């Protein structure tokens, strides 16, 4: 068990990937309210908005207004998703931390369906983006591999295919600081052994590479998949408070949220892996998020309460009985 | 990874432990309808009812009527929960498979609060029950350890405490066929490493003992905990279709369902561990269960559809495109 990390970093995706999937428009002020509450939990990074075409993602049309409205807390990274040059130009003009990334889909079909580019074209686009970022004085920190475990069109993605995508991404980063590689289970295809197989293959080839997981809990295996990553030393996760973004009760069954941040935090902290996050405050954020979206979120620990809170209460009862 | 079982058996708990937690009375005919549908999935055992005091658990007051109404399918065990002599007398008179069990709570406080008996009294009661079962020609198959990982009153349960409870149970079974020991995470306290620690301790002391897990998904770690058990060769699970019994949307936030059978089946089958269960039929049962209880159930794979179904559809599209 020596591969377990001592601590993990978490990027909170609720305000971006979570709200993005909500069918009902979320008011700008509510987005800011949740972001500010999340910043009080101790989370290191909050993905606040996505700088994408508002015609494609109307929920993110107020990205600039959200970015401008946040009262920032020192020590927290406030980021936004940037996927192309237009997004970068928009993001740069906001007070958010500009952390562009490079990305590639392990499944070529997914890339074609999603952005109408084959592998060669996708790589050329990333090369262009990198030049643009560098010319503006920015160095990408992360390389994201979409559909690393499976694809809605190609079905299973062999570990070798995903490893190849990682090698292509690393090639782009040549001469730059080695990026953190984030493996995305974009469509909820992974299971614990497929996570271990891919992470194991990457560890074998690049023993020092820092790896992260961006897991969707489409089919209920997300937390088990996170655990599989932890076993092999994965020390970064993207997750979403309350499991925001994946609520089948919101009339949006196709949406599948990230794993719930508080369930990840609960598991890590109970196992002695530090997250830096105050679980009780995070659970309060889930209640706020539910109030904002107007429906329950799938998180279980948020509704049952944390083990730590129960433990504390029991200790107090025992003390007062002495 | 050689400890992984090739196959697992599953006891479907939805009709018993699931319906038991529903605040709205479920009509007898609907209970039977779900049980009969579940029997078509290939599941080996269905816990249909509980023979408990109807004043304490009104939802199970029609246990005899449910038992009498089921059209049975050969090869399926239809069981009911028996916790005391009165329950045994009732169960024996029904056409259900009478499979009494012995049980003990690892947490003595839980035992006292739950049945007003300290450890000595609890063991004496189990001894009496065993005599009763044997006099009637029945041999208990399972030994259940409640609160094996944690307790709502005592908080953490040390593995040594749970191991001790197992040794006491095994003592009761002395001279009888070795029982299967089922470890219950009654209040959703376990995490993957605590499962591994306890299962590991038991494996160390009784290498051949067959172990099962009865996991509640109170805080969202249930499937990760099941995976931890599989790693160490646990090959029996109690679970509940749809995660029935744990729906915070049912106005019953205190209820915490078992892990969802279809999420367990999906994980096992994707990892090459046979369950004997037709996942697609099981997902149809979840829709039926939701219709019966009148609200959504927490299962995610039931709403997103299985990986296998998606894989099959993709293969058909690829074929038709050739």
CATH of the domain at A313: 3.20.20.70
Q: Which two tokens stand for residue B70?
A: 């089921």
Total structural domains within chain A? 1
Domain assignment present for A3: no
- Say yes or no: A150 contacts chain B, CB-CB below 8 A: yes
Q: Which residues of B touch A307 (CB under 8 A)?
A: 150, 189, 219
Structure tokens at B255: 């209820």
Residue A137 within a domain: yes
Say if the Cβ atoms of A263 and B188 lie within 8 Å: no
* Strand ranges, E, within chain A: 9-12, 45-50, 77-81, 102-105, 142-146, 150-151, 155-156, 180-185, 211-215, 236-239
Which residue from A minimizes the CA distance to B153? Answer: A314
Contacts of A3 in chain B (CB under 8 A): none
Q: Name the residue range of residue B286's domain.
A: 9-321
pLDDT of residue A104: 96
B155-156 and B150-151 beta bridge pairing: antiparallel
The per-residue pLDDT for range B1-42, each reduced to its tens digit, is 469 999 999 999 999 999 998 889 999 999 999 999 999 999
Q: Please name which of A218, A289, A297, A285 lies closest in space to residue A258, comparing C-alpha atoms.
A: A218
Is residue B3 in a domain?
Answer: no
Q: Cα angle at A105 between A101 and A111, to 5 degrees?
A: 110
Residue range B178-197: mean pLDDT, rounded: 96
Contact flag B263-A193 (C-beta cutoff 8 Å): no
Share of chain A above pLDDT 90, in %: 87
Name the token pair of B52.
């408990």
* B1 domain-assigned: no
Closest partner residue to A267 (CB to CB) among B224, B226, B310 is: B224
B42 touches chain A (CB under 8 A): no
Q: How far apart are CA B266 and CA B243, in angstroms?
A: 14
Q: In this complex, do A296 and B194 lie within 8 Å of one another by their Cβ atoms? A: no
- Tell me what ipTM this predicted complex has: 0.95
- What average pLDDT score do residues B159-187 get? 96
The answer to whether A240 contacts chain B (CB < 8 Å) is: no
Residue A150: predicted pLDDT: 95
The H helix count followed by the E strand count for chain B is 13, 10
Asked whether the beta carbons of residue B253 and residue A153 sit closer than 8 angstroms, the reply is: no
User: Taking residues B231-251, what's their average pLDDT?
Assistant: 81
Q: Are A64 and A87 in contact (CB under 8 A)?
A: no
pLDDT at A52: 93
> Which of B193, B219, B227 is the closest to A192 by Cβ?
B227
- pLDDT confidence of A177, banded at 50, 70, 90? very high
Question: Which residues 160-199 of A are in CB contact (within 8 Å) with B?
Answer: 188-189, 191-194
Indicate whether B134 belongs to any domain.
yes
Q: Return the pLDDT at B251.
A: 41
Look up A11 and say whether it is catalytic: no
pLDDT in tens, B44-64: 999 999 999 999 899 999 999
The closest alpha carbon to A261, from A60, A108, A46, belongs to A46
| Exposure string over B92-106, b if 16+ CB within 10 A, otherwise e | bebebebbbbbbbbb
pLDDT category of residue A322 using cuts at 50, 70 and 90: low
User: Choosing from A151, A184, A241, A247, which is the catalytic residue?
Assistant: A247
- For the beta carbon of residue B136, count every other beta carbon within 10 angstroms: 12
Could you tell me if A155 lies within 8 Å of chain B, comparing CB atoms?
yes
- The radius of gyration computed from the CA coordinates of chain A, to the nearest angstrom, equals 19
Mutate to test the interface with B, among A2, A155, A191, A219 (most CBs of B within 10 A): A219
Say if B249 is an interface residue toward chain A (CB within 8 Å). Answer: yes
Q: Which residue of B has its CA nearest to A301?
A: B219
What span, in angstroms and rounded, lies between the C-alpha atoms of B117 and B101?
18
Check: CB of residue A224 under 8 Å from CB of residue B224: yes
User: What per-residue confidence (pLDDT) applies to B255?
Assistant: 54
A241, A253, A294, A300: best mutation site toward chain B, by most B Cβ within 10 Å?
A: A300
Q: What is the pLDDT of residues A270-321, one digit of tens each?
A: 999 999 999 999 999 999 999 999 998 989 999 999 999 999 999 998 888 7
Element housing B81 (H / E): strand B77-81
Query: Which residues of chain B neighbour A263 with C-beta distances below 8 Å?
Result: 219-221
**Tens digit of each residue's pLDDT (9 = 90 or more) over B279-290:** 999 999 999 999
Q: Do the Cβ atoms of A300 and B246 come within 8 Å?
A: yes
Residue B57 lies in a domain: yes
Residues of B in contact with A260 (CB under 8 A): 220
Cβ of B218 within 8 Å of Cβ of A156? The answer is no
Do residue A191 and residue B260 have CB atoms under 8 angstroms apart? no
* Total-model pTM: 0.96
| Interface test with chain A among B268, B269, B275, B304, by most A beta carbons within 10 Å | B304
Closest CB to B304 among A154, A218, A223: A218
Would residue B272 count as lying in a domain?
Answer: yes
Q: Write the DSSP string, A28-66.
A: HHHHHHHHHHHHTTT-SEEEEEE-S-TTT-GGGTTHHHH
Q: Which runs of consecutive H residues, i.e. helices, occur in A154-278?
A: 159-172, 192-205, 222-231, 261-270
Chain A hits for B296, CB-CB cut-off 8 Å, are: 248-249
Distance from CA of A154 to the nearest CA of B (A): 7
Using alpha carbons, select from B150, B228, B204 the residue that is nearest to residue A231: B228
**Confidence class of residue A256 from pLDDT cuts 50, 70 and 90?**
confident
**A271 falls within a domain:** yes
- Range with lowest mean pLDDT among A54-58, A61-65, B235-239: A54-58
> Residue B249: which of A249, A253, A310 has the nearest Cβ?
A249
Give the whole-angstrom CA distance, residue B40 versus residue B239.
17
Q: Which residues from chain A sit within 8 angstroms of residue B220, using beta carbons?
A: 223, 260, 263, 266, 299-301
């Amino acid at each position: 068990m020596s591969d377990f990390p001592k601590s993990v970093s978490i990027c909170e995706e609720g305000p971006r990937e979570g709200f993005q999937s909500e069918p009902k428009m979320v008011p700008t002020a509510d987005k800011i309210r949740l972001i500010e509450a999340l910043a009080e939990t101790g989370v290191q990074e909050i993905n606040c908005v996505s700088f994408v075409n508002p015609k494609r993602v109307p929920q993110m049309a107020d990205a600039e207004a959200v970015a401008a409205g946040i009262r920032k807390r020192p020590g927290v990274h406030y980021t936004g998703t940037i996927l192309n040059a237009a997004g970068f130009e928009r993001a740069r003009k906001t007070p958010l931390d500009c952390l562009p990334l490079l990305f590639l889909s392990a499944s070529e079909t997914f890339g074609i369906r999603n952005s109408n580019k084959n592998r060669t074209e996708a790589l050329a686009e990333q090369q262009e983006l990198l030049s643009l970022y560098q010319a503006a004085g920015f160095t990408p920190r992360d390389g994201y591999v979409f559909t690393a475990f499976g694809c809605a069109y190609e079905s299973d993605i062999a570990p070798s295919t995903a490893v190849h995508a990682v090698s292509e991404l690393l090639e782009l980063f040549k001469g730059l600081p080695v990026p953190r590689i984030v493996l995305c289970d974009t469509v909820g295809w992974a299971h614990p052994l497929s996570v271990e197989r891919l992470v194991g293959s990457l560890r074998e080839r690049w023993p020092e590479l820092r790896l992260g997981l961006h897991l969707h809990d489409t089919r209920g295996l997300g937390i088990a998949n996170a655990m599989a990553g932890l076993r092999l030393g994965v020390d970064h996760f993207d997750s979403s408070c309350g499991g925001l973004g994946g609520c089948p009760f919101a009339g949006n069954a196709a949406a599948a949220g990230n794993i719930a941040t508080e369930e990840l935090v609960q598991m890590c902290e109970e196992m002695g892996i530090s997250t830096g996050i105050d679980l009780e405050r995070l659970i309060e954020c889930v209640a706020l998020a539910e109030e904002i979206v107007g429906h329950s979120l799938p998180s279980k620990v948020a509704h049952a309460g944390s083990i730590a809170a129960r433990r504390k209460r029991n200790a107090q009862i025992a003390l007062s009985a002495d």
